[in-house]
A and B are shown apart, each in its own frame.
Chain A
């Protein structure tokens, strides 16, 4: 993650350097605007990372995933969607966890719903989403994604 972040950063710095001779004032303005948005959102970002840390310590995804059990059907998809919505962690950690669940006998479509909901829905990041996009968008996007998460598991269940 650090190395990919570095690549992105180098590309952006490259853009700034490339644009400098084109219009110095505009580049300075970009920098100012970048700094302003960062400064405005930094306390929120720090708070979100703090909450993520608390959640990973006290309610780790491994613990939440236990709710999944071995059941199948719509009920288990609903539980998976809930479990995913409160889970937080790096997307890469989802795969080994999903494998563990599969080996423990969990229903594959429920795992698909869990992964979907883990990444697309964030209860913990909801306050941050609401501050950036507005309450309406945050609530409806997460709510509809919840249904989509269940639907994705359901369709996978029909296919597999």
Chain B
């Protein structure tokens, strides 16, 4: 029981939080729960796809391939792939955490993982929408600056990750 609680502390904490909210203000707790359910159902297919890919990755993709594409051997190419993936992938970023971790375990560098998560703030498909809302100079400037900053951010996080053994 204690072990289960320790492993699932976040679930337990969330459950407790909802319990309290239901006691204090049931209507708003219900609204929060339905908002959670809506978000969850809107990305459910995406989650299944992501985990389906995690399984494929573990059995079909050779480690050397990932190392050569997304590892140190990949050089600048690996960083560019990271930018491209980040700007194209859709859905909340936390859904792809497990996928990114799997890629990292199989040889991708930390810089690539960080770059994907940083360049996530730009969505190529949504630039027209951003232009409509915020105008050309803003949208274009933001996209270029983010891409330019994503790479040094990734390299910095990587340098820190490699300095000491992982926690």
Q: Which residues on A are within 8 Å of B, measured CB to CB?
A: 1-2, 4-6, 8-9, 11-13, 15-16, 19, 26-27, 29-35, 37-38, 41, 43-54, 56-58, 90-92, 95-96, 98-99, 102, 108, 111-112, 115-116, 118-120, 122, 125, 127-129, 131-137, 140-141, 144-145, 148, 151-152, 155-156, 159-160
Interface size on B, residues (CB 8 A): 78
- Could you tell me if B101 and A133 are in contact, using CB atoms closer than 8 angstroms? yes
- Could you tell me if A9 and B49 are in contact, using CB atoms closer than 8 angstroms? yes
**8 Å CB contact of A120 from B104, B118, B134:** B118
19 A/B residue pairs, CB under 8 Å, sorted by A: A6-B45, A15-B52, A30-B58, A31-B55, A33-B59, A47-B14, A49-B39, A53-B39, A56-B32, A90-B39, A91-B121, A95-B129, A102-B134, A111-B134, A112-B145, A129-B94, A133-B104, A148-B118, A155-B149
Closest A residue to B165 using CB positions: A136
Q: Is B76 an interface residue (CB 8 A)?
A: no
- Interface residues of A: mostly helix, strand, loop or mixed? helix
The residues of B that contact A56 with a CB separation of less than 8 Å are 32, 35, 39
**8 Å CB contact of A30 from B18, B55, B121, B133:** B55
Closest B residue to A98 using CB positions: B134
Q: Which residues on B are within 8 Å of A, measured CB to CB?
A: 8, 10-11, 13-15, 17-18, 21, 28, 31-37, 39-40, 42-56, 58-60, 90-95, 97-98, 100-102, 104, 110, 113-114, 117-118, 120-121, 123, 126, 129-130, 133-134, 137-138, 141-142, 145-146, 149-150, 153, 156-157, 160-161, 164, 166-167
- Could you tell me if B17 and A127 are in contact, using CB atoms closer than 8 angstroms? no
What CA separation (Å) do A37 and B51 show in the bound complex?
Answer: 7
- Could you tell me if A12 and B53 are in contact, using CB atoms closer than 8 angstroms? yes
- Could you tell me if B59 and A99 are in contact, using CB atoms closer than 8 angstroms? no
**8 Å CB contact of B142 from A8, A90, A156:** A156
What CA separation (Å) do A118 and B93 show in the bound complex?
Answer: 11
CB of B11 to closest CB in A, whole Å = 4
The residues of B that contact A32 with a CB separation of less than 8 Å are 55
- Could you tell me if B60 and A135 are in contact, using CB atoms closer than 8 angstroms? no
- Could you tell me if B18 and A48 are in contact, using CB atoms closer than 8 angstroms? no
Closest B residue to A2 using CB positions: B42
The residues of A that contact B15 with a CB separation of less than 8 Å are 47, 50
- Could you tell me if A133 and B97 are in contact, using CB atoms closer than 8 angstroms? yes
